[in-house]
Structure 1
Amino acid sequence: MKLIGRLFLIVFLFSIVAIILGLGYIGYIPAVSKLLGTNKPKDLGVRYTEQDRVEARAKSNIEWTTLPSSTSDEQSIQRFGRHNVDTNWTSAQMTALMNNPPWKYWPYNNAQVKFNADGSAEISTGINKAVFPSYAAFMGIPKVAATFIMKLLPPQPVVYLKIKTSLVDNQVAIFEPQSFELNRIPLPIDKFLAFQRPSFQLIKPVNAQLSIDMLTDLAKVNNKKSLIIDYINNHLAGYSSFFFAKEARFEENKLIFKGTLPDQEATMR
């Protein structure tokens, strides 16, 4: 089931990359963040119990096993087989999964997930910078990009994302980002949609700053939404041997899923 969360977070992570590029010139002061409460995730009002976690795992019918500690970061999650699934998870159940992952490099903490009647979903979470490089390696993010993000993230990053999205036949059917916050600072959607896959030849040595010129250049990129959708679809295609979303969408307090999930998921813990 953690796979479902990770696929949803592919959108989330890609959003973070764009946000960071847009806010690289802003300085973050930990003491001020703590005083203002901007180092704590936004409260979505979702609470979970141990029963939510147990029920959420049971719905996925995935067997979890442990990999040797010597396993490389890139291979720290391995999946085998697949089976049909037709079910739904509540906001509390998904929140329980987000906060109890059986994986050493899961970077999200104090997370809440909320599914809304209009087809949107919200995620509010802290990010553990200590494990982010290993997480990025598993996700296939270039090391230079991960290093760049690490330099620009605040010391105690928290992120909020609201997005309306759905999958049909393992492809993005709807993709409508609605709002972003980084350390409780609202961010303009147009800057996010201006992001293109990084051309690292354009990135100068980072001193925790990014030029206004680069922001201007990002705003000129055409077909921004298409680039992001292509990125997500490519990841979905890479998962097709063990994951296929015939349908995945949000309703009031529900993530509805019809498709296939792996029989077994082995992780390094």
Structure 2
Amino acid sequence: MKKLLVVILLLSLIIVFILGYLGFIPGLSAVFGSNQPKKLGITYTQKDKKSADEKLGVKYSQLSAEEKEKGLVLKGSHPVDKSLTSQELTALADTRQKQFALFPFKKVQIRVNPDGTVEGSGILEFNTALNFLQTLEVPLGEVNKVIDKFKILRGELPVYLKVSGEVVNNISNLAVKSAEIARIPIPQALVSQYGPSLNSLVEDIVSKRQPNYEIRSLKVESGQVHFVGSSPDEEWARGK
């Protein structure tokens, strides 16, 4: 299920890289409220978080200070065939930093719609995102070239995405319907131009999590996200 969150992250980063030239001004953004994520009307309780954790069946633990690993340490694997609600997905995403400090989103909301689309909004922490990309073995030098080229603002950016599609047998087929950064709509032509290459990137990331994670099917059914595959028995990381 965290693959859906990774998808949202990567889409956000690509769009930020392309449109950094917009030159957002933090003070002006605050005046107009564009420094806050789009509200999707989804709230959650501890009951939702507990329910989501039970469905995925992952035991979360913290790495000790002596451990050299900066990313995730996954152990074991077990089958999962569960559906998660908007509230459960939001609970997982909004509390993720407590388990994994390199997860670069906060103030997250995820809404699954009857038409099969999924919307996500939150604050993307730029520096945390860079550190997260390094754990995925994305060369920092290449990232910095893009940052310098497009004069990307290093800070916190509200992001919003609406996507459709599915992942089947670890093959991603996702499409972006709309996107916003700092509450500014992104031209669909740009999103469409870079969307296809994103699926290949998602598939590469999924492969790095194997064999602990497998996605036989990840899609929207009856207003929920239905996940069939496998999750690790244990996940070790450093939280905030």
Contact 1:12 1:161 in 2 (8 A): yes
Query: 1:120 deviation in Å?
Result: 1.2
Contact 2:116 2:164 in 1 (8 A): yes
Equivalence for 1:44: 40
1:73-84 equivalences under 5 Å are 75-84=70-79
Which deviations, in whole Å up to 9, do the C-alpha atoms of 1:141-190 show, x marking residues without a partner?
Answer: 22124444495136330100000021112212x32210010000000122
Secondary structure (helix, strand or coil) at the match of 1:23 reads helix
Equivalence for 2:118: 121
1:61 is aligned to 2:31: no
Query: 1:192 deviation in Å?
Result: 2.5
Deviates more, 1:146-155 or 1:156-165: 146-155
Secondary structure (helix, strand or coil) at the match of 2:210 reads coil
1:10 is aligned to 2:9: no
Give the unaligned 5+ runs of structure 2: none
1:1-269 equivalences under 5 Å are 4-5=1-2, 7-72=3-68, 75-101=70-96, 102-147=99-144, 148-149=146-147, 152-153=152-153, 155-172=155-172, 174-195=173-194, 225=196, 227-269=197-239
Query: 1:72 deviation in Å?
Result: 4.2
Distance 1:120 1:110 in 2: 20
Bigger Rg, structure 1 or 2 = 1
Query: 1:107 deviation in Å?
Result: 1.4
Query: 1:25 deviation in Å?
Result: 1.8
Contact 2:73 2:237 in 1 (8 A): yes
Distance 1:72 1:149 in 2: 28
Give the unaligned 5+ runs of structure 1: 196-223
Task: Give the direction of change, closer, same or farther, for the CA distance of 1:122–1:43 in structure 2 (3 Å limit).
Answer: same
Query: 1:252 deviation in Å?
Result: 4.4
What one-letter code is carried by the residue in structure 1 that aligns with 2:129? F
What one-letter code is carried by the residue in structure 1 that aligns with 2:5? L
Percent of matched pairs sharing the same residue: 26
What one-letter code is carried by the residue in structure 1 that aligns with 2:80? V
What is the root-mean-square deviation of aligned Cα atoms in Å? 2.0
Contact 1:17 1:149 in 2 (8 A): no
Distance 1:142 1:105 in 2: 16
Give TM-score, length-normalised by structure 2: 0.89
Distance 2:166 2:74 in 1: 23
